[in-house]
Amino acid sequence: MSNVVPVDTLISALGCIGLLDQQAVELLRALPLRLRRYDAGEHIVRAGSNPNESCFVVAGFAARGQYLADGGRQLDQIHISGDFVDLHSLHLHRIDHDIIALGTCEVAHVSHEHLGSAMAQSGRLTWILWQSTVLDGAAARTWVTCLGRRRADAALAHLVCELLIRLERRGLTKKESFRFPGTQGDLADMLGLSVVHINRTLAELRRLRLLEWSHNEVRVLDWERLAEFADFDDSYLGAGRPMPRWFTKPAHHHPATIRRFTNGREGVATD
């Protein structure tokens, strides 16, 4: 499972977002990593902590989630191999969510200090890491739409669509099937449903011959119909915009110009 250099999974994943140049790749390779294997259900990061390091998934799956006062749990994001899981901790005082291993999960931890040193030397790397946090946010908003306005079957289908596309881009699928170690209980916590209903909904998708799912192996039988059924649009998973020149090269100063409020068309400032 880990016969490749761990950081290569990260490099390959970031490369899907935007072009990494040679320098950025070398800076990433030079990062000191602390590697650790987590068992299913184990906590990788705990809410309330204030870590001085971030981590990315080397192999397996991790999920981000929150626990409620009543003991309930909501998972709101899945991280696959290569994903930088909690880059957020760079920016947040107090981590507001838990990261949990789905199945066995291999994770690499990087100190903020070393990560920062690398970013300081490569504006391109900074840009792509920022971008990865923005794409995470876009995925979270799409998740909101699934929970709020889709029925259970379409939401589950949407989740499968997202996983397939993301894994495919990392070369982690065989044909249109992939391994996914989450239990039906995990799925329930992702979609805000009960275990029982996940089971029935899954049975429904099987009955419709949209997919097969057994022994942690998911096979999409009819991608077109599944995507149609889920009302799936992959644009929120897209690559980022290329880094603009101005991000690393300061430009000249522009004088301020302000135009006044208008309805429908713009006017000229009067104050």
The neighbour count for residue 208, using CB atoms within 10 Å, is: 15
Nearer to a copy of itself, 215 or 252 (CB): 252
Establish if 201 lies at the interface with DNA (CB under 7 A): yes
Which of 184, 221, 231, 236 is in the footprint of DNA by CB under 7 A? 184
Residues in the chain: 271
In this structure, are residues 124 and 243 in contact, taking their beta carbons and an 8 Å threshold? Answer: yes
- Residue 100 partner contact from a copy of itself, DNA, none using kind-dependent CB cut-offs of 5 to 8 Å: none
Q: How far apart (Å, rounded) are the C-alpha atoms in residues 16 and 170?
A: 8
Hey, which residues between 119 and 178 contact DNA (CB under 7 A)?
151-153
Burial state string for 226-248 with b = 16 or more CB within 10 A and e = fewer than 16 = bbebbebeeebbeeeeebeeeee
**Interacting span for DNA (CB under 7 A) from 49-57, 199-207, 223-231, 242-250:** 199-207
- Residue 114 partner contact from DNA, a copy of itself, none using kind-dependent CB cut-offs of 5 to 8 Å: a copy of itself
Which of 50, 52, 214, 263 is in the footprint of DNA by CB under 7 A? 214
We find the least distance from the C-beta atom of residue 213 to a copy of itself, in angstroms, to be 21
**Interacting span for DNA (CB under 7 A) from 74-82, 85-93, 108-116, 196-204:** 196-204
Judged by phi (left if over 0) then psi (alpha if -120 to 50, else beta), residue 215 lies in left
Establish if 1 lies at the interface with DNA (CB under 7 A): no
Nearer to a copy of itself, 214 or 258 (CB): 258
Q: What is the CA radius of gyration of the chain?
A: 21
Which of 195, 212, 248, 267 is in the footprint of DNA by CB under 7 A? 195
Establish if 196 lies at the interface with DNA (CB under 7 A): yes
Tokens of residue 119, six digits:
């970013």
Q: How far apart (Å, rounded) are the C-alpha atoms in residues 158 and 190?
A: 12
We find the least distance from the C-beta atom of residue 138 to DNA, in angstroms, to be 24
Establish if 197 lies at the interface with DNA (CB under 7 A): yes
Tokens of residue 44, six digits:
């990788």
Strand bridging mode 73-79 / 53-67: antiparallel
Establish if 40 lies at the interface with DNA (CB under 7 A): yes
Instruction: Please tell me the number of Cα atoms within 13 Å of 262 on its side-chain side.
Output: 10
We find the least distance from the C-beta atom of residue 144 to DNA, in angstroms, to be 14
DSSP string, 190-201: HHT--HHHHHHH
Which of 200, 241, 259, 260 is in the footprint of DNA by CB under 7 A? 200
Q: Which residues bind DNA (CB under 7 A)?
A: 40, 151-153, 183-185, 188, 192-197, 199-203, 214
